Structure 1
Amino acid sequence: MRFFHPDNRSRSDEHERIYAVYELWFTVVDVAAAVSFVVGSLLFFFESTTFAATWLFLLGSTCFALKPSIRLAREWRYWRMGKIDKLAERERG
């Protein structure tokens, strides 16, 4: 198994389920980042809300940093599943 190979998500029903769960989280983080930046941008129009806007930009940036971490976590989980499958095969054979 190779990291980030397109076939990883369809290796089994469990792989497809994992893919769906991680895609859901990826999308939630993506929307949170977008909302944070849009609202933060609007708040920068008013001097009185600049502090809140800055925090929203920090939150949006953090969300963007989470996105590759979510993908890496999914691939790591696939990799671990492959290792467990190989171990089970050795024990059987």
Structure 2
Amino acid sequence: MPLFHPDRRHQNEASRRLWARYEIAYTAVDFGAAFAFVVGSVMFFFAAWQTAGTWFFLIGSILFAAKPTIRLVRELKLYEMGDEEDLAERYKG
């Protein structure tokens, strides 16, 4: 089964738990990025807070950049979980 195939998340109980954990992490990062951008936007209304606002924008950008990384790592782990039989066969003496 190829990477990013929707059926991977339902392979077994372990894959469902892994999927859920990564979805929670993905959503938390999403909320963190949105929060950072909203706070940074408000800070830009005040000249004294513009530097701090710029940092919040940078933090939000880094969090948004982390999202595809979370998805890729999740998919690679699910891919490995689906190939257990192949891996076992490969390493038999």
Q: Same fold (TM over 0.5)?
A: yes
Q: For 1:7-57, what per-residue CA distance to the aligned partner results, in whole angstroms no more than 9, with x for missing partners?
A: 110011111000000000001100000000000000000000000000000
1:78, distance to aligned residue in structure 2 (A): 1.1
CA RMSD, 1 decimal: 1.4
Q: Which residue of 2 aligns with 1:56?
A: 56
Q: Which amino acid aligns with 2:9?
A: R
TM-score normalised per structure 2: 0.91
Q: Which residue of 1 aligns with 2:87?
A: 87
Does residue 73 (structure 1) correspond to residue 43 (structure 2)? The answer is no
Q: Distance in 1 between matches of 2:72 and 2:60?
A: 19
TM-score normalised per structure 1: 0.91
Q: Distance in 2 between matches of 1:74 and 1:48?
A: 41
Q: Distance in 2 between matches of 1:86 and 1:16?
A: 21
1:6, distance to aligned residue in structure 2 (A): 0.7
Q: Distance in 1 between matches of 2:80 and 2:49?
A: 46
Q: Distance in 1 between matches of 2:10 and 2:62?
A: 30
Structure 2 runs not aligned, ≥5 long = none
1:87, distance to aligned residue in structure 2 (A): 2.4
1:86, distance to aligned residue in structure 2 (A): 1.9
Does residue 36 (structure 1) correspond to residue 20 (structure 2)? The answer is no
